[in-house]
């Protein structure tokens, strides 16, 4: 009887945890496709203030912090980006001490070095190589981790060609990441990371003047998520103008 009681409590706890996880993922996805960054910020702030955090919960939070910081930097909100970079780096430091997260941790370390460069371009010669090295290390530690390939691709996409950046190499690594992500179809359902990756592939084709493939990827994105406002209202219409 006592054993049954604890088993029931465990199941209820697990169900509650999974419900919270699902809710956070859904809210972030909704924020991403609707460009509702107030909702995104609200979600990660609520997660940050939760007292009890498992390592997987911190990893999930780190992913959402990573996405929000990218938006902040892209929209010139440097002070806000700095706040969330500091919070994210604390999660990285914690997970770095935990077994089983090494490849993912290196992926995020690569991204956060890149964000530091985004806030101060003068740091590029000093921490740019660290960003690239962390991405390489992520791939070396786990060749099936798509985030390592994404971060290496990002380093190539955003690095000026005069310093060794290559949109072609970026496209190759984004494509490898896509193949890895799509091996687990259940995980990419309502996943902002997957839509973001498809968008970077479309942008890479566009940068390489391969507008037909860029168009195909925009159409693929809108087939996956017809309500993705950025692609629907900006990226795809702009691409069609270039084709004409």
- In the chain, the number of structural domains is 1
Is 140 part of any domain?
yes
Q: Are 43 and 59 within 8 A, CB to CB?
A: no
Task: Answer whether 0.95 is exceeded by the pTM.
Answer: no
Q: What is the pLDDT of residues 113-155, one digit of tens each?
A: 999 999 999 999 999 999 999 999 999 999 999 999 999 999 9
Is 68 part of any domain?
yes
Confidence grade of residue 60 (pLDDT, cut at 50, 70, 90):
very high
Is 199 part of any domain?
no
Alpha helices in the chain (DSSP H): 2-34, 37-49, 55-74, 78-96, 102-119, 124-141, 146-158, 167-181, 192-207, 211-224, 229-230, 236-243
Is 144 part of any domain?
yes
Which structural domain, as residue segments, surrounds residue 33? 29-181
pLDDT at residue number 221 = 98
The enclosing domain of 168 has a CATH number of 1.25.40
Is 20 part of any domain?
no
């Amino acid at each position: 009887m006592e054993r049954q009681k604890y088993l029931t409590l465990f199941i209820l706890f697990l169900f509650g945890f999974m419900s919270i996880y699902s809710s956070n993922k859904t809210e972030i996805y909704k924020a991403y496709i609707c460009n509702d960054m107030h909702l995104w910020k609200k979600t990660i702030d609520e997660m940050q203030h939760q007292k009890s955090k498992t390592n997987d919960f911190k990893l999930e939070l780190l992913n959402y912090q990573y996405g929000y910081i990218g938006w902040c930097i892209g929209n010139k909100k440097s002070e806000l980006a700095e706040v969330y970079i500091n919070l994210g780096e604390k999660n990285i430091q914690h997970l770095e001490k935990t077994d089983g997260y090494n490849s993912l941790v290196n992926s995020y370390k690569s991204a956060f070095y890149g964000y530091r460069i985004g806030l101060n371009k003068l740091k590029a010669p000093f921490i740019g190589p660290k960003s690239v090295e962390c991405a390489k290390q992520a791939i070396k530690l786990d060749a099936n981790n798509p985030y390592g390939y994404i971060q290496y691709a990002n380093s190539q996409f955003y690095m000026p060609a005069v310093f060794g950046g290559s949109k072609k190499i970026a496209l190759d690594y984004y494509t490898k990441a896509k193949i890895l992500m799509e091996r687990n179809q259940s995980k990419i359902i309502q996943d902002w990371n997957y839509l973001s990756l498809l968008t970077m592939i479309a942008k890479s084709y566009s940068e390489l003047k391969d507008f037909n493939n860029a168009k195909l990827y925009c159409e693929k994105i809108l087939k996956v998520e017809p309500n993705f406002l950025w692609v629907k209202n900006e990226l795809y219409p702009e691409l069609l103008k270039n084709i004409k």
